Amino acid sequence: MITIVDYGLGNIGAFANLYKRVNVAAKVARTAGELADAERIILPGVGSFDHAMDLLDASGMRPTLEDLVINGKRPVVGVCVGMQILAEGSDEGTRQGLGWIPGRVRHFSHAPSNADLPMPHMGWNDVRPRAGEQLFQGLETDARFYFLHSYYFECAEADHVAAHTSYGLEFGCAVRSGHVHGVQFHPEKSHHYGARLLKNFAEA
């Protein structure tokens, strides 16, 4: 069973509908009680880093989420801003993130060579996964996903980068530390590529 965390951000219905199409059981959690029995967790998000952290705290689900992931070792995948809040912090705001994967979220302009790039990075782009990443099984070559963002996750450790893409610079578009996964792109908007990735997560 997949549990989609609805704390007020993200395309909740799109995830639920996609899992229905691929015949994977999924539910939406809006309270700590609904989240408590989660086996695998989708943590979506859109918008700004601090706003996402504020809403997650206000939802009352954060302590349960942290207990499930840290102590219960439940697999989780953060999507877009849901990935970014896995970091320790962001140049976009002042709040601390969840800190489940060491690193910081940077604006593309952090690299001087990117100063003239149009923002946000929007549209389809190629994704190059690291060999053996289970989320990307069957997506090792020619995978394309839909992006919409101006910030990227700069991992403190290169081993936590699960996939790369390029927009002015090569950046980590997917991260993983053990059972904690994150993807910057939107699998729920990425047609059969996204469906395969989310099915892989359900079966990992």
Q: Annotated catalytic sites, by residue?
A: 80, 186, 188
Residue 98: name the closest of 163, 196, 13, 182 by CA. Answer: 182
Q: Establish whether the linkage from the previous residue to 120 is cis, with ω within 30° of 0.
A: yes
Give the sign of the dihedral formed by CA 97, CA 103, CA 109, CA 110: positive
Sheet of strand 89-90: strand arrangement: 89-90, 103-107, 151-155
Helices 191-203 and 12-21, interaxial angle, to 10°? 80
Quickly count: other Cβ atoms within 10 Å of residue 178's Cβ. 11
CA–CA dist 49, 106 (Å, integer): 11
Of residues 191, 193, 192, 200, the one with CA closest to residue 165: 193
77: helix, strand or coil:
strand
